[in-house]
Amino acid sequence: MMVFVKLFWTFLKIGTFGFGGGYAMLSLIQDEVVVQNQWMTNKEFVDLVAISQTTPGPIGINSATYTGYKALENLGYNPYFCVLGSIIATLSLCLPSFIMILFISYYFVRFKANVYFASALQGIRPLSVSLIGIAAISLMNEENFTDVISPLIFVVTLLLAIKYRLHPILILGLAAVLGLLIY
């Protein structure tokens, strides 16, 4: 049962320090889940990211839910305990944000003109961008780029998103069709 406490504590930390949203949390989740606790392999983490991106909802919450289940499954727990692991991971990830939003919404009106508060927010913005960049770089590994075609699909879909501003769902569908045809 100690794994539930560890799962709670791990996702509470990620929820507390995961500024910048779900994508920025991915590097923190990967470090905690794959490196520190070894609840899953790097390949399983890459699958987690793919599933979390394609299912409805925020990627950070989807990742926590999937991780809570998969971690306990890999440890040999039955599915009921795995579902409990999903619930614990998801709630503990959301708890810090919920408390912070309550606090901020209550005091925001008082502090929005405060120079220190505005300066702190200005400093957090670049941090968020860097955390997203770290998550993107950490996913550029041999599990995602298995052959010479994988980087080509990456470049083409990136170009379609940036230059032609195609909708992400359309790009996802195109990449899936390419995967079916090529692999």
Per-position b or e across 4-34, b if 16+ CB within 10 A of its CB: beebbebbbebbeebebebbbbbbbbbebbb
Q: How many domains does the structure of the chain reveal?
A: 2
Same domain, 113 and 176: no
- Kindly report whether the global pTM for this prediction surpasses the value 0.75: no
Give yes or no: residues 108 and 151 share one domain.
Answer: no
Q: Is residue 150 located within the same domain as residue 120?
A: no
- pLDDT (0 to 100) of residue 9: 95
> What is the model's pLDDT at position 21?
74
pLDDT tens series, the chain, 183 aa: 799 999 999 999 999 887 777 777 888 899 999 999 999 998 999 888 888 888 888 888 999 999 999 999 999 999 999 999 999 999 999 999 899 888 888 887 788 788 988 888 888 888 888 888 888 888 888 877 888 888 888 888 889 999 999 898 899 888 889 888 988
Record the tokens describing residue 27, joined without a space.
Answer: 């590097």
Are 106 and 54 contained in the same domain? yes
Give yes or no: residues 86 and 104 share one domain: yes
Do 11 and 77 lie in a common domain? yes
Domain range enclosing 38: 2-141
Regarding whether 158 and 83 lie in a shared domain, the answer is: no
Q: Are 57 and 11 part of one and the same domain?
A: yes
Same domain, yes or no, for 98 and 161?
no
